[in-house]
């Protein structure tokens, strides 16, 4: 059978699910993302290094900071630049801002309607407006961080190789909104833990996250459930490949194992490093690693937000404007690697530059392409258990299953057009 796609870049976007049935039994499935590719890596070639944060941000409007952060860190790695700890701490704060707004958006705006059996927040508002408003309050706090450090909530402008183009005199205006958001998060999670989470366990999937001193977000080694490798070895261990039915590339471990990145992976690999408050909340509700139920990723995102708010407050309290916002960058002919934890999981960049800092080659592996095989595997074991599959059953059950993985936003709500094919 021929399958035509007019499809995507490596950004998460609109997609489709096709299920093949023989005598009513599933025989195969395909998760395809069909947005037209935007060829960002190709566009970068021949451009100066300083366009990396502005251009790669546009791969994703929901997690632009992740792209900027992996991008500037790869550049700094190439040019042998060490970023002072105080600047890195501010970068962490900005990144927490992105996690908070992205997680709040997914939990409250996109994921939650599934648990209430409604199509969107517009209907959800009629059932539990207070909960939704709390979600908005939390999201706003994340946005405020990003706005204060980068000018606007999406595609901020201040991150550059070497540090920031400019930094604010004070961050004290963030204290109150962050405290309020933390309070609302603690209140909301009490409610959310009582939701009905369908029984389902991920099986045979390796959890991959970063490993650093802190709960992973900014940088570090890649932790493959205990095995730790450098960012520069990424392509030795992981394989990115094209599939005919999707413009988003897929990825697997070279030994053939399927892996998952994102909140569940971070939580399972680095639980001990959560802030004491986030850890306590988690333990109190019986949420401890290994969490293998993807529906519970909703709670894990909330725990990560509590951690983010907690840590963000700590950084804001200790903030003193550094004497210099950035350190001098001197290009040289070399290759650099950068990896950080986007809200949806590890995001890897590699660039090769000439002596003037012109980009010769660019390679970017976003989290959603890494997660596609795990999503397909989960869907497969989910479908296998079902005796009879109808189109309405798929729409009702397969879509929420996919949303558990938060395959970047455009999709996260309704990227699924369900089709059934009889073989």
Positions touching another protein (CB under 8 A) are: 4-7, 9, 11-14, 35-43, 45-47, 51, 54-55, 58-62, 64, 105, 109, 113, 119-122, 125, 129, 132-133, 136, 139-140, 143, 150-155, 157-158, 160, 164-166, 242, 244, 247, 361, 399, 408-410, 412-415
Q: Which is nearer to another protein, 120 or 227 (CB)?
A: 120
Kindly state the helix (H) or strand (E) to which residue 325 belongs, with its residue range. none
* Count of CA atoms in the C-beta half-sphere (13 A) of 84: 12
Q: Which is nearer to another protein, 16 or 300 (CB)?
A: 16
Minimal distance, residue 225 CB to another protein, in Å: 30
Q: Which is nearer to another protein, 128 or 314 (CB)?
A: 128
Q: Which is nearer to another protein, 140 or 219 (CB)?
A: 140
Query: Cis ω on the peptide bond leading into residue 290 (within 30° of 0)?
Result: yes
| CA 165 – CA 72 distance, rounded (Å) | 12
Read out DSSP for 188-256? HHHHHTTS-PPP----SEEEEEEE-SSSSSS--EEEETTEEE-GGGHHHHEEEEEETTEEEEEEEETTS
Minimal distance, residue 125 CB to another protein, in Å: 5
Read out DSSP for 153-195? SSS-S-EETTEES---S--GGGHHHHHHHHHHHHHHHHHHTTS
SS3 377: helix
| CA 245 – CA 359 distance, rounded (Å) | 30
Q: Which is nearer to another protein, 156 or 216 (CB)?
A: 156
| CA 406 – CA 397 distance, rounded (Å) | 15
Query: Residue 228's CB: how many other CB atoms inside 10 A?
Result: 12
Q: Which is nearer to another protein, 92 or 140 (CB)?
A: 140
Minimal distance, residue 303 CB to another protein, in Å: 22
Minimal distance, residue 350 CB to another protein, in Å: 13
Q: How far is CA 408 from CA 148, 341, 342, in A?
A: 24, 14, 10
Q: Which is nearer to another protein, 51 or 423 (CB)?
A: 51
Minimal distance, residue 144 CB to another protein, in Å: 12
| CA 146 – CA 151 distance, rounded (Å) | 7
Q: Which is nearer to another protein, 166 or 381 (CB)?
A: 166
Minimal distance, residue 324 CB to another protein, in Å: 12
Minimal distance, residue 416 CB to another protein, in Å: 9
* 28 neighbors 43 (Cβ within 8 angstroms): no
Minimal distance, residue 284 CB to another protein, in Å: 30
Q: How far is CA 328 from CA 77, 92, 213, 331, in A?
A: 14, 21, 27, 10
């Amino acid at each position: 059978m021929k399958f035509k796609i007019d499809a995507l870049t490596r950004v998460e976007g609109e997609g489709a699910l096709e299920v093949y049935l023989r005598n009513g039994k599933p025989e195969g499935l395909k998760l395809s993302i069909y947005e037209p590719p935007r060829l960002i890596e190709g566009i970068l070639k021949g451009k100066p290094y300083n366009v990396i944060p502005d251009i790669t941000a546009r791969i994703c409007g929901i997690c632009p900071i992740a792209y900027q952060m992996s991008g500037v860190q790869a550049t700094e790695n190439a040019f042998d630049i060490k970023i002072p700890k105080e600047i890195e701490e501010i970068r962490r704060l900005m990144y927490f801002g992105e996690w908070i707004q992205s997680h709040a958006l997914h939990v409250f705006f996109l994921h939650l309607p599934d648990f209430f059996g409604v199509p969107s927040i517009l209907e959800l508002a009629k059932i539990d407006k207070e909960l939704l408003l709390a979600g908005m309050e939390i999201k706003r706090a994340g946005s405020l961080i990003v706005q204060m450090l980068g000018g606007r909530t999406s595609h901020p402008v201040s991150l550059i190789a070497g540090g920031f183009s400019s930094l604010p005199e004070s961050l004290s205006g963030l204290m109150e909104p962050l405290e309020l958001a933390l309070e609302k998060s603690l209140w909301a999670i009490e409610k959310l833990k009582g939701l009905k989470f369908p029984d389902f366990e991920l099986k045979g999937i390796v959890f991959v996250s970063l490993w650093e001193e802190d709960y992973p977000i900014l940088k570090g080694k890649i932790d493959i459930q205990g095995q730790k490798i450098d960012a520069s070895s990424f392509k030795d261990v992981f394989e990115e490949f094209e599939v005919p039915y999707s413009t988003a590339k897929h990825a697997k471990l070279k030994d053939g194992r399927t892996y998952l990145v994102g909140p569940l992976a971070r939580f399972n690999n680095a639980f001990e490093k959560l802030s004491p408050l986030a850890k306590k909340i988690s333990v109190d509700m019986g949420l401890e690693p290994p969490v293998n139920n993807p529906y519970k990723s909703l709670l894990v995102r909330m725990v990560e937000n509590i951690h983010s708010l907690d840590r963000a407050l700590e950084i804001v309290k200790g903030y003193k404007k550094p004497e210099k916002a950035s350190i001098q960058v001197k290009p040289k002919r070399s290759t650099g690697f950068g990896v950080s934890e986007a809200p949806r999981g590890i995001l890897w960049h590699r660039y090769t530059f000439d002596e003037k800092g012109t980009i010769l080659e660019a390679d970017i592996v976003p989290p959603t392409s890494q997660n596609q095989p795990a999503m397909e595997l989960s869907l497969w074991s989910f479908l296998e258990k079902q005796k009879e599959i109808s189109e309405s059953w798929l729409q009702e059950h397969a879509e929420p299953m996919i949303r558990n993985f938060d395959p970047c936003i455009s999709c996260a709500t309704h990227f699924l057009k369900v089709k059934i094919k009889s073989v």
